[in-house]
Amino acid sequence: MEAVQAQWGVVVVAAGRGMRMGTKESKQYLLLQDKPILVHTLELFEGMEEVSEIILVVGEQDVARCEAFVREYDLIKVKAVLAGGSERQHSVRIGLQSLGTEWVMVHDGVRPLVTQSAVRSCMSMAENVEAAVLAVPVKDTIKQVNEAGVIVATPDRRSLWAIQTPQAFRRSLLIRAHEQAALEGFLGTDDAMVVERLGIPVSVTEGEYTNIKITTPEDLPWAAFLLASNSKSKTGKGEKEL
C-alpha cells in the first residue's frame, strides 16, 4: 500500500455528555495522567505531519474552555472550536463545513489511545478506495436476541468486526453523504453508515484492540494503564516520552 501523501483534516467530535460514565463532568474532560482525555486525543493528531487542520466540535457550553485548552497545550493545528448539534451526525456535518482539505478523518474525542500507525493505515486505505474505517475482528460469539430475550440467530463470527474511529473519507464524498442523510431525515450510528447508503463501498482497515472508547468508569484505569505502557515502550526507560 502506498505511503500517505495528501494533506488531511480531522473532525474530532466531543459534544456528547456520556451519561454512562456516571460523573458530573463530561467524560472527555476527565483527567488521564493529569491531562483531559480530549487533549490526549488532539495531541495525537497534532503530532502527525500529514494532518494540516483539526476542527473540534463540542457542546455549546464547552466552547470557551476548549479554546483555552487549545492555547494552553499549544494545539496550533486546531483551526476552530465549534458548537455541535443535537446529534453526533449533526456535529460531524458542522465540522466538515469548516475544513478545507481534500481528505478528512472523523474521530471520537474519547478515543485517545489510537496509534499513529493505525491512523496512517486507515488514511492510506482511504486514499486508495475513498472510504475506510478502522476496525478489529470480534473475539466473542455474538448472539442476536429478540425483545423477549430469546436467541434468534448466531452470526458467523468470522464476518463480524467491531468498528472504531478514525473513519477516513474523501471530504466531498462525506459531505454529499451527510447532505443526503439530512435531506431524508436519516440518522446513522457512524459516518460509514451514511456513506454506505449512497451505495459506496467502505473498506475496513484492521486496527488495534487498545483503541478503546472511554465510556464507563471501568475504562479509565484500563486507559491509564495502556497510556503508561505506551509511554514506557516509546522511551524504553519506564519514563514518559517528552
**Which pLDDT tens digit goes with each residue over 151-178?**
999 999 999 999 999 999 999 999 999 9
Determine contact, residues 56/12, Cβ cutoff 8 Å. yes
Count of C-beta atoms within a 10 Å radius of residue 212:
17
Average pLDDT score over the chain = 91
pLDDT of 240 reads 39
Domains of the chain in sequence order: 8-235 (3.90.550.10)
pLDDT above 90: residue 210: yes
Query: Which residues, listed in sequence order, are joined to residue 156 by a DSSP beta bridge?
Result: none
At residue 139, what is the residue type? K
The answer to which of 9-18, 181-190, 194-203 has the lowest mean pLDDT is 9-18
Backbone angles phi, psi at 83, to 5 degrees: -80, 130
pLDDT above 70: residue 241: no
Closest by Cα among 63, 111, 55, 102 to 80: 55
- pTM of this prediction? 0.90
